[in-house]
Structure 1
Amino acid sequence: MLEDMAEYSCGQNLARLFLVIFNLIFVIVGLALIVVGGLLKAGAEFLDVLGSFVHEIPGLGNIAIAIIVFGVVIFLIGIFGTCGSCCSVRCMLILYAVLVMIITLAEVVIVALLFSGTLDKTVTKGFSNLTKKYKMPADIKNIDAGDIVSRLIDAVFISLKCCDYENIVGASSTKIPPSCCKGLSRKVLESGDLTAIQACYTGPSDANSYINKRCGVALIDMMRDNQAYVIGIGVALLVIELLCIAFSLWICSQINKKNRVSSI
């Protein structure tokens, strides 16, 4: 980077420095997510270090895969931005700009839907369709044995304290996924005392489950309860992302000029 600083203006060098620093943070965050996901997948020793919180989440091993995948995506975006700006690699900068544009457009669409009031139906319908892929466990002792989609849905049910069971094959108003039951945690599963969960599993009610609370509504309510934070974080991210796109394209234009001059 130092060798070709003279080929850029002061502003462009500052833009390159901004991209390098910002995307190094992305690289570090991505690596951290990959490591944490790997450790969560690997074994009990790390879970003991983290304490009781993670023990509340059934199916944690499969959820760890999603953390690893997300970490890899963040890491790759950071690598494209860092190497592209530091080493003046045009193709990396273009790919980086395109990826950030896609993320930015997705965020803008989500915010627009949230304020237009149509996000409620979109989220509710989308999650309802996703639950069609849920596979009911053979019994409550086998809640950890399913596929990753089912375990991620379980995690949503538990974290949002909701239950979209209507499209789940094998579920009904008299038999719901164990993750819809109040009081379910890894500690309870490991204790072997599943009397209360069994009663909920085959006889759900408002008292022992979240059977009448829809996840789409729960998510929208949570977002609206924290609307000020959502707007603040969203605006900050939007500004940073727009700067990243503008700076990367600006540097690309300078690389093009440099290549044209060198080819003469």
Structure 2
Amino acid sequence: MAVEGGMKCVKFLVFVFNFIFWVCGVALVAIGIYTQVALDKALVVSTASAAGTPVAILVLGIIIFFISFFGCCGAWKESYCMVTTFAVLLSIIFLVEVAAAIAGYVFKDKVRSVLEDGLWDAMNKYGEDKALTEAVDELQRNFSCCGANNYTDWSSIEWFRVNNTVPRSCCRVNSTSCNVRPSPATVYENGCLQSIEAWMKKNILIVAPVALGIAFFEILGIIFACCLMKGIRSGYEVM
């Protein structure tokens, strides 16, 4: 009876933790959508590898969402096959997350380099490519920035040499002449690369605890799923 009661408890815990996984999956989907929307124009001027990061978070959230639903059904129906599949899939997800975290730390400087190259490429095509022109303008307005590193970057761009002005999206105030003789008093002084990095560092304080929380519950979920698998396989009554 003690074992039976213990397995009932494990079954209940597996069900509860899967519900928590489900919530975590929803949280990741929300974070992925928020990041995609917030960095929309920054991702347009960057490369496909950088632009895929929010999509990867979104996909991971959807996968966790469905795996958690699968685990809930397995625990409720006491299906050894479903619980085993759940434990294996959750272990794979956990290992992928660890690998992604390590890769993100190792290649963090590469991400900065890719973003900077994308900004310079978009600036060089400013006025020629409509989509990139609109992306640069919206990026500079949203992040209150001008140029890649600072507003003087525009002086080396062909568009500046032809028009002798920086884009109007650099202006601190809405006036017709604010960008004619650009200076820190009339245009944003900081570059967009610095502003985007500051935004990322600020929001990593939100993402990091969420990621650690998900990893913690994944480990517990794997442990409890293995315990439930052992109980089902041994033929104990867990209802």
Percent of aligned positions that are identical: 22
2:13 paired residue number: 18
2:131 paired residue number: 142
2:191 paired residue number: 210
After superposition, the Cα gap between the structure-2 partners of 1:237 and 1:126, relative to the gap in structure 1 and judged at 3 Å, is same
Following superposition, the deviation at residue 91 of structure 1 comes to 3.7
Following superposition, the deviation at residue 221 of structure 1 comes to 7.6
Aligned residues: 201
Point out where structure 2 has 5 or more consecutive residues left out of the alignment.
Answer: 45-50, 160-168
Point out where structure 1 has 5 or more consecutive residues left out of the alignment.
Answer: 1-5, 39-53, 167-171, 185-192, 260-264
Larger radius of gyration: 2
State the AA in 2 paired with 1:15.
V
Q: How does 1:154-165 map to 2 (within 5 A)?
A: none
After superposition, the Cα gap between the structure-2 partners of 1:80 and 1:145, relative to the gap in structure 1 and judged at 3 Å, is farther
1:255 paired residue number: 232
Paired with 2:148 and 2:16, the residues of 1 have a C-alpha distance of 45
Paired with 1:26 and 1:69, the residues of 2 have a C-alpha distance of 15
Following superposition, the deviation at residue 84 of structure 1 comes to 1.9
After superposition, the Cα gap between the structure-2 partners of 1:36 and 1:17, relative to the gap in structure 1 and judged at 3 Å, is same
State the AA in 2 paired with 1:86.
W
**8 Å CA contact 2:19, 2:72 repeated in 1:** yes
2:82 aligned with 1:92: yes
After TM superposition, the score normalised by the length of structure 2 is 0.50
Paired with 1:204 and 1:211, the residues of 2 have a C-alpha distance of 16
1:128 paired residue number: 113
2:64 aligned with 1:74: yes
After superposition, the Cα gap between the structure-2 partners of 1:107 and 1:80, relative to the gap in structure 1 and judged at 3 Å, is same
**8 Å CA contact 2:67, 2:86 repeated in 1:** yes
After superposition, the Cα gap between the structure-2 partners of 1:122 and 1:16, relative to the gap in structure 1 and judged at 3 Å, is same
After TM superposition, the score normalised by the length of structure 1 is 0.47
Deviations 1:208-243 (A, max 9, x none): 4425628668746875xx59x95x666654442221
Q: What root-mean-square deviation, in Å, do the aligned CA atoms of Structure 1 and Structure 2 show?
A: 5.9
**8 Å CA contact 2:145, 2:189 repeated in 1:** no
After superposition, the Cα gap between the structure-2 partners of 1:124 and 1:237, relative to the gap in structure 1 and judged at 3 Å, is same
State the AA in 2 paired with 1:122.
F
After superposition, the Cα gap between the structure-2 partners of 1:125 and 1:248, relative to the gap in structure 1 and judged at 3 Å, is same
Paired with 2:22 and 2:153, the residues of 1 have a C-alpha distance of 46
After superposition, the Cα gap between the structure-2 partners of 1:215 and 1:36, relative to the gap in structure 1 and judged at 3 Å, is closer
